[in-house]
Amino acid sequence: MSLMKPDMQMDVSFYKVEEIRYLTDETFSLKLPKARFAFKAGQHISLGIVGGNQSREYSIYSGENDENLELLIKEVDNGYFTPRLRKLKAGSMVEVHGPFGKFGMEPELAAKGKFVFIASGTGIAPFRSIVHTYPDIDYRIIHGVRYSKEAYDRAEYSGDRYTLCTSRDKGGDYNGRLTGYLKSCKFDPETHFDLCGNSNMIFDALEILKDKGFDRDQIHCEVYF
């Protein structure tokens, strides 16, 4: 979270919201015109509403070469910013700072590496950006959510690459927490792991991967909250 200071002018661009796509009752994607905005898959931006005084970080959900700049946002109960974002309409003005962050993919590694992307909730956003940008990448996604309706844009990933873990209904490929599934998995020793989402999931997943013998330098994390 950040408070925008009036003199904070670095890398700010103003965009008209082009489309809002509702994926569930709480989660939506904001599509902005991409214009000349350049970023690396995996990076995030800081988003503000024009006329507001707050901003929040959001991973970029679209690929580097996609037509739009897209974000995946979940409305948080009693949150400050997301209920305001949810009220935006096509045509509303937002401001984008960034891009920021080192989480992501080196093009050379994308061509030869083996990846496991571990996401909770909207933490799948940077991985969709990576898969859009590097469609030939050798990846698996393990996605942990509460309800199966939160398998955001699942149809875009081929079935054997995407595993949905649902903790509150039985509609997942695995019924239970992502970490329970992870414990049962076998991975190639050369695998690179990228983890994104809430800190509890990330700390637990790190322990599980450590117990499986993976080095910390094979694992990269992006913590949302």
The binding site for ligand FAD (CB under 6 A) comprises 1, 44, 56-59, 72-74, 76, 79-82, 121-122, 125, 222, 224-225
> In this complex, which beta carbon is closest to ligand FAD, that of residue 151 or of residue 214?
151
Tell me how far, at minimum, the Cβ of 114 lies from ligand FAD, in Å: 25
Tell me how far, at minimum, the Cβ of 56 lies from ligand FAD, in Å: 4
Mention every residue, 6+ apart, whose C-beta is less than 8 A from residue 56.
1, 2, 46, 47, 81, 82
Tell me how far, at minimum, the Cβ of 69 lies from ligand FAD, in Å: 12
**166: its two tokens:** 């649902």
Peptide bond into 83 cis (omega under 30): no
Tell me how far, at minimum, the Cβ of 211 lies from ligand FAD, in Å: 27
Mention every residue, 6+ apart, whose C-beta is less than 8 A from residue 71.
29, 30, 32, 45, 47, 58, 59, 60, 61, 125
> In this complex, which beta carbon is closest to ligand FAD, that of residue 78 or of residue 184?
78
- Residue 163, strand partner residues: 142
Q: How far is CA 98 from CA 20, 52, 73, 92, 148, in A?
A: 21, 18, 17, 20, 32
Tell me how far, at minimum, the Cβ of 101 lies from ligand FAD, in Å: 6
> In this complex, which beta carbon is closest to ligand FAD, that of residue 172 or of residue 197?
197
Mention every residue, 6+ apart, whose C-beta is less than 8 A from residue 186.
none
> In this complex, which beta carbon is closest to ligand FAD, that of residue 133 or of residue 214?
133
> In this complex, which beta carbon is closest to ligand FAD, that of residue 120 or of residue 179?
120
Taking the C-alpha atoms of residue 159 and residue 172, their distance in angstroms, rounded to an integer, is 12
